[in-house]
A and B are shown apart, each in its own frame.
Chain A
Amino acid sequence: MSTTPGAGLDRRELTRLGPVRRAVLLPSFQFWTVLPTLALVVVVLVSAAVGLEHPSANFGTVVTWIVWWGGLLVSFVLVGRAWCLVCPIGAIPEWLQRLSPWWGSRYTAGLGLPWPRRLRNLWLPTALFVVFVFLDNGYGMSNSPRMTAGLIAVLALGAAWVSLVFERRAFCRYLCPLTAFIGTCALTSVFELRRRDPAPCRNACPTKDCYRGNARRYGCPMGEFPGGGLESNLHCILCTECVKSCPHDNIALRWRAPGRDLWAMSRPRLDGACAAAVIVGLATVVPLLALAFLPELRSLLARLLPAGVPPNDPPRLAAVVLVFGVGLGATLGLLHAASLLSRWASGSARVTTRALFTRYAYALIPVGLSKLLADLLDHAFRTWGVLSNVTSALLLDFPWNRVMPERASATDLLGPLAVYGLQVALLLGGLLWSLEALRRTAPGPAADRASGVASFLPIAGLALVLTLASLWTLGSGLL
């Protein structure tokens, strides 16, 4: 099921187009793409660190949690992990490590130690992502300018430190709290960077420059080996270093069926699958449980734990932890049960429940991603104008953002029912996408259609349940 390049794929190659080819072959390509985001992140950091503490009037919080977050969610489908290509938090430590922003340097400022073998997986990044989401929901990070600034500073310093100790972009691949989220969601992308033809890589390339680099260019900063048959977007940040370093001009950027990785990976891993399940659970099950139980749970826990001043309120923080734990446990448990039932229904002795669990988890990503997009859609349409308000406020006192605008608008572009209609369309689109991916991954011999349908039904049922959770959570305001 791995990607098999061939002559028929040429029409889908973007690197055949002159301007695209010239851009990706430009040695300073990544440097120029990082510069605009670097300038924006500096302004965001300053305004979040010293600007207004009103989250809706602070440029830093609005740009980070509305514009950046929304752009990130949309970018997964369009360009996979391309945020990592332009992320200054990953790029600047890399320049520091190489002692060069783009040209091949013989010197390095880093120790270049290999990342510990036991940590070469997505378990730690998944745990860090859960902590990241907990900080937001427990402490209100996304509506606190100071915490937003602190987060950016901690990530930047952490990335710099890790790049000085470990080789390549170890932080971006194994420690960034968003890497598991960005990597698994990037599987939905319509772009991929892959080798054109396996033959030159196997038979005529002893140097493996796409991985090791050469005197002029660097190897893959994420530690991937495109010439060895890269088959998913999980870690590919589209930096195009491999395009530049390949001596056989055998790496191409091309279109593909949207989300092909969701069903076509030949060796999906359990750590990535659990990351996918956690993302889906956080997007669908956890908000429903929080909506229903969080206040009551907090009151209940207040009898056991001493109350504090919010957000440092132990009963509430414990309630959030409990909701997270139950929600994620329920998601993993339901996915396991659906895999078990699917295996039993398929009647196939060759397939294991674990293998099904792994494949199904990836295929459910569109259900979670569409819910996260639907959440943001509501905010964008119902608090329309906030970006222009904060931009005006920033310009009044650039870049400190300490002056409150005279009037903050409270306007909406669409009514709640119209927004809900769009959310429903988005959620049903995500469901359909997941079902198509699940249909292609469900076991069952091709000759026996009944077994194929039978094995598909349990996991399709779970996809429907997760979508219902989102539909009813978002619809609760209309009831």
Chain B
Amino acid sequence: MRPVLRALLPTAAAVLLLALGIVWLAEGPGATASPADAPTPGTTREVAIRAQAWGFRPRVVRVAPGETLRLAGISEDIQHGLAINDLGVNLQLRAGQVARSPAVTVNLPEGVYTIQCSVFCGLGHASMKAKLVVGSPRAAPGSGAPWIASLLGLAVVVGVAFRAGRPRG
């Protein structure tokens, strides 16, 4: 087993370091954007959202249940979309031009909803998302999903490693 240990130790150390780096990159720099202003019930609030490849600022928009919103989106680079499917909003964002949605009332249960780019905009399009937080839900339901998926990935590697070294067919 000595050769296995000799390979396992540096590999495990490198994977751990890189994995921590990945989690930091995915959660870190972009996630520090501040939430939108606190909601003011009874008025139509304009929420300004800036889009760039590949993210929105702010990344979290907080609204009160029943609040009326008008979304004002602008792209800082190429064309993007700003869609909140749960509210039926889908704006096309061009560089430097503000696009405004009609006033929409947030008649949604308390929870976390997805704000997403609706125009296929390149390599990072699938991760171009932000959150619409209605009310004060406890936690986003999917926040633990990447952790579970990562553990499953590790299990796959361990499973195949047990088969490695056997005669190849």
Contacts and interface: CB of A to CB of B under 8 A. Distances in A.
Q: Do A and B bind each other?
A: yes
B43 to A, nearest CB: 25
A469 B18 CA distance: 9
Given A65-B120, A289-B25, A310 B150 contact: no
B12 interface: yes
B114 A416 contact: yes
B29 A461 contact: no
B103 interface: no
22 contacts: A61-B120, A140-B53, A140-B79, A143-B120, A290-B54, A291-B30, A292-B25, A293-B25, A311-B95, A378-B125, A382-B116, A383-B83, A424-B145, A440-B168, A454-B4, A457-B4, A460-B157, A468-B150, A471-B150, A472-B27, A475-B142, A479-B143
A290 B124 contact: yes
> Interface on chain B toward A: helix, strand, loop, or mixed SS?
mixed
Interface stretch (A9-17, A182-190, A198-206, A405-413): A405-413
Given A345-B7, A461-B14, A465-B18, A142 B122 contact: yes
* Max chain A C-beta neighbours (<10 A), residue from B2, B79, B88, B89: B79
Interface stretch (A90-98, A243-251, A444-452): A444-452
Nearest to A417: B142
Interface of B: 1-4, 6-8, 10-12, 14-15, 18-19, 22-23, 25-31, 52-55, 57, 75-81, 83-85, 88-90, 92, 95-96, 114, 116, 118-131, 140-143, 145-146, 149-150, 152-154, 156-157, 160-161, 163-168
Given A143-B120, A345-B3, A479 B164 contact: no
A81 interface: no
A478 B145 contact: yes
A455 B30 CA distance: 37
B160 A142 contact: no
B153 A471 contact: yes
A420 B116 CA distance: 14
B54 A291 contact: yes
A479 B156 contact: no
A469 B22 contact: yes
A446 B168 contact: yes
Contact of B164 (A316, A453, A471): A453
Nearest to B9: A457
A461 B156 contact: no
Interface stretch (A23-31, A131-139, A167-175): A131-139
Given A440-B168, A468-B153, A410 B160 contact: no
Contact of B122 (A140, A313, A461, A463): A140
A3 to B, nearest CB: 15
Given A310-B77, A310-B78, A471-B150, A411 B85 contact: yes
Contacts of B52: 294-295, 298
Contact of B22 (A65, A282, A468): A468
Contact of B19 (A292, A379, A465): A465
A456 interface: yes
A461 B15 contact: yes
A458 B166 CA distance: 17
A52 B128 CA distance: 24
A444 B168 CA distance: 11
Given A457-B161, A465-B19, A410 B118 contact: yes
B92 A439 contact: no
A350 to B, nearest CB: 16
A476 B127 contact: yes
B142 A420 contact: yes
Nearest to B92: A54
A424 B156 contact: no
Contacts of A473: 26, 124, 126-127
A417 B129 CA distance: 13
Contacts of B156: 428, 431-432, 435
